[in-house]
Structure 1
């Protein structure tokens, strides 16, 4: 898809990956952007930044869980601002907890936003794209939509759901000349991620890195877009060494949410001290090599024996 001169709608556009995608689309020549989010002030700030680049911007302050309001807003936007060529479903929430300690209301919020919000927006825009027989839909999932991790069971379930939804929709909408893609970034330095307890041994990406990869891949016929070498490594391990990957995930996952430091705490400390060796500082902070390297070595050796017996 050539984005120059096109119109795109991005949900979750007020912060994080959604914001970065909107800015990258503007830099690469999109004609008009419809930005959707709940936070009016943040949305206005992003819109002002994009407008300085000469891009037409429309802000839609919407809660995607309010289906009637979303239906009305999208119908009006389509009539007023013309066809939408690209839909990026990026709105999402994440809650972290051991499953047996998790709260039902958090699960309901994740399902309502990550799945039902995406479903509602895709249905509204997809029908109109099908009538025109043209369009591109990008659903932002996560590496956790392929590799589930301890303490993130409900979040992983919604992200797996996005991958499955995208795969099914790709086949359904292909005859209408609509491309459907899944974006699967690994841990990214966003406000949402900073509220989570850090997974040891995981290098966070920037939202800008994720956005650049997506925009570059739009011109190619990609069905799933993995972002970052860690994502490719995890998928490779899952395919060839699944038992080893499970052991590694148990090691890197927060052992105790009450004792673990959050990603935000570590990142803020690095910014305050000007530390540029974030990975090694994180490794030392969590005592990975001090307490877990022997467990990892044993798991790795056993994984090799399982796959390549004498």
Structure 2
């Protein structure tokens, strides 16, 4: 039986959840490494306004007594009325898979409508077509050009410069709360991994009145942050021969931070801020320490449990194999 709190949240938060999901879908479709079948699923999510199984919020799972395990349905809408399966084949889709999808959608999820979404390279057998007629199901084809073409970027200005991002989405409530806390003096920020710390840094950077520094502990993170701060100069092995001292901001690995010690920054954002600061670390008017695992008491905290409860992060199932 769903708790009254979750049922109330579901009623009030479904629209906000879907808005965040659409933003995630647009962002996912810009990822170059995304496989064709994943791209087809996210395209179907946008086109039909349905939710991938792995993204379903906890209150939906509790209300309908289901899990996120893959048992033959790829996407559902939040009222449970429509079930969707996506097939991206370079050939014929086996009829047995379609039959299984319709059975699972009808019997387990109690869906009123079954929708099969295929790429234009996927073909159905005659028996599959008969299955759709008998089950009053729909078949939707998304062309390769439609699902392989990423959405156009939006340009946003900062201090006269332009930066490209996939889509300027509305801030999540947790991000708004964090920014409000920062405006009121919070400097030690603890947010769960995946809840949007980088976006918070970006928003803070846009409000800075001087040069900004983002400190990261590794070169892998340096590359990741470069996408969010495209106008910033990168500082680290492989980049230190060409430092642009007039850049509006810098993204630097800890080990190269000393190269910028001659600059007094307006803001410094320390990612993985539970680590010790590097030697000869530059100074700033405002220092912000971001981490998911602070050892010190945070000024602002957004836990993994809260992120899962709010639908920002996915809940997870733990499978324990028992061998006898």
The bucket for the TM-score relative to the shorter chain is under 0.3
TM-score (norm 1): 0.25
Higher strand share: 2
TM-score (norm 2): 0.25
Higher helix share: 1
**Rg larger in 1 or in 2?**
2
